[in-house]
Structure 1
Amino acid sequence: MPSSETAAPTTPALTTSAPTTSAPTTPAPSATAERAAGTAAPAPVPPGIFLALIALCTAVTAANIYLAAPLLPLMARDFGSTPSALAWIASVAQFGYAAGLLFFAPLGDRVNRRRLVAGLSVVAAVALGLGAAAPGATALAAAVLVASAATVVPQLLVPLVAERAPAHRRASHVAALIAGLFTGVVAARVLGALVGQAFGWRYVFAGAAVLTALLGLASAAVLPAEQRRRTGPLFAGLAQLPGVVRGSAELRRACIRQGGMYGAWSALWTSLALLLTGSGTEGYGMTTATAGLFGLFGLAAAVVAPLAGGLVDRFGAAKVVSAGYVTAAVSVPLFWLGGGALWALCAAAIVLHMALVANHIANQTLALTTTSTPAVANTAYVVAGFAGGALASALAGTAFTHWGWTGVCAVAALWLALGWATTATPRRSATPLR
Structure 2
Amino acid sequence: MSPATTDTTARPGRRSPGRAAGGAPRPGSALFLTLLAVCSAVTAANIYLAAPLLSLMARDFGSTPSAVAWIASVAQFGYAVGLLLFAPLGDTVNRRRLVTALTVVTSLALAAGAAAPGAGALAGAVFVASAATVVPQLLVPLVAERAPAERRARHVAAVIAGLFTGIVAARVLGGLAGQSFGWRWVFAGAALLTLALGLATALVLPTGRRSRSGPLSGGLTALPGLLRRSPDLWRASVRQAGMFGAWSALWTSLALLLTGPAHGLSTATAGLFGLFGLAASAVAPLAGGLVDRFGAARVVRGAYLLAAVSVPLFWWGGHVVQALFVAAVAIHAALVASHVANQTLALTSTSGPAAANTAYVVSGFAGGATASALAGTAFAHFGWSGVCAVAGLWLALGWGSTAAPRGRR
| Alignment-derived partner of residue 247 in structure 1 | 229
Rounded Cα–Cα distance in structure 2 between residues aligned with 1:233 and 1:322: 29
| Alignment-derived partner of residue 174 in structure 2 | 192
User: Which 10-residue stretch deviates more, 418-427 or 189-198?
Assistant: 418-427
- Counterpart residue type for residue 330 of structure 2: V
| Alignment-derived partner of residue 276 in structure 1 | 258
Rounded Cα–Cα distance in structure 2 between residues aligned with 1:80 and 1:126: 26
| Alignment-derived partner of residue 366 in structure 2 | 387
Superimposed CA distance per residue, residues 250-303 of structure 1 (whole angstroms, 9 cap, x where no aligned partner)? 111111100100000000000000000001xxx210000000001111113311
Superimposed CA distance per residue, residues 359-417 of structure 1 (whole angstroms, 9 cap, x where no aligned partner)? 11100000000100110110000000000000000000000000000000000000000
SS at match of 2:383: helix
Rounded Cα–Cα distance in structure 1 between residues aligned with 2:408 and 2:230: 8
Rounded Cα–Cα distance in structure 1 between residues aligned with 2:366 and 2:266: 30
| Alignment-derived partner of residue 11 in structure 2 | none
Q: Between the two structures, name the one with larger relative contact order (CA 8 Å, sep ≥ 6).
A: 1
Same amino acid, percent of matched pairs? 74
SS at match of 2:406: coil
TM-score (norm 2): 0.92
Rounded Cα–Cα distance in structure 1 between residues aligned with 2:369 and 2:236: 18
Question: Shift of residue 44 of structure 1?
Answer: 3.7
| Alignment-derived partner of residue 301 in structure 1 | 280
- Counterpart residue type for residue 98 of structure 1: A
Pairs within 5 Å for 1:83-94: 83-94=65-76
- Are residues 1:422 and 2:375 paired? no
- Are residues 1:128 and 2:110 paired? yes
- Are residues 1:78 and 2:60 paired? yes
Q: CA RMSD in A?
A: 1.8
Rounded Cα–Cα distance in structure 2 between residues aligned with 1:235 and 1:405: 44
Question: Shift of residue 233 of structure 1?
Answer: 12
- Are residues 1:119 and 2:98 paired? no
| Alignment-derived partner of residue 25 in structure 1 | none
Superimposed CA distance per residue, residues 187-214 of structure 1 (whole angstroms, 9 cap, x where no aligned partner)? 1101111110000000000000001111
Match among 217, 220, 227 for residue 199 of structure 2: 217
Structure 2 gaps, min length 5: 1-19
- Are residues 1:100 and 2:82 paired? yes
Change (3 A) 1:234 1:221: farther
Rounded Cα–Cα distance in structure 2 between residues aligned with 1:236 and 1:115: 23
- Are residues 1:45 and 2:45 paired? no
Match among 346, 361, 370 for residue 325 of structure 2: 346
Question: Shift of residue 170 of structure 1?
Answer: 0.5
Rounded Cα–Cα distance in structure 2 between residues aligned with 1:179 and 1:396: 26
Change (3 A) 1:81 1:133: same
TM-score (norm 1): 0.87
Superimposed CA distance per residue, residues 164-200 of structure 1 (whole angstroms, 9 cap, x where no aligned partner)? 0110100011111111011101211011111100000
Change (3 A) 1:334 1:232: closer
Rounded Cα–Cα distance in structure 1 between residues aligned with 2:332 and 2:76: 18
Rounded Cα–Cα distance in structure 2 between residues aligned with 1:358 and 1:237: 31
Match among 159, 162, 171 for residue 177 of structure 1: 159
Change (3 A) 1:93 1:174: same
Question: Shift of residue 127 of structure 1?
Answer: 0.2
SS at match of 1:340: coil
| Alignment-derived partner of residue 138 in structure 1 | 120
